[in-house]
Amino acid sequence: MKRHDPDSNRAFGELHTRLKTAFPELRTARDNVFDVAAFAALVNMTKEGVYKWLRADSLPARRALQIVEIANKGRRKPVCSLEDFLPFIS
């Protein structure tokens, strides 16, 4: 199921869902919305750059590695692996 992108009037795909799973702390408790601005700050990007990934449902390989590293940092049990993001690497 795709999430609605209010900035472009388009729907988000599976990459959006994977990011919400990898970064549960960036979801709002009330309506389960992923905080793109906070995520963009974590990966040192603009939120527009992240929205571009979400609209395309793809991301660069180096960013997939970065996301996995950041998501699992300081956790006892990893929340994601590179294999989770392989389908989205462009």
CB 56 within 8 A of CB 80: no
Query: What pLDDT is attached to residue 33?
Result: 87
Element (H, E) at 3: strand 3-5
**What pTM was computed for the model?**
0.82
C-alpha radius of gyration, the chain, whole number = 12
pLDDT tens for the chain, 90 residues long, are: 445 445 444 578 999 999 999 999 998 877 778 999 999 999 999 999 999 999 999 999 999 999 999 999 999 999 999 999 999 998
Query: What pLDDT is attached to residue 70?
Result: 97
Element (H, E) at 10: strand 10-12
- CA-to-CA separations, 65 to 2, 10, 20, in angstroms, rounded: 24, 27, 16
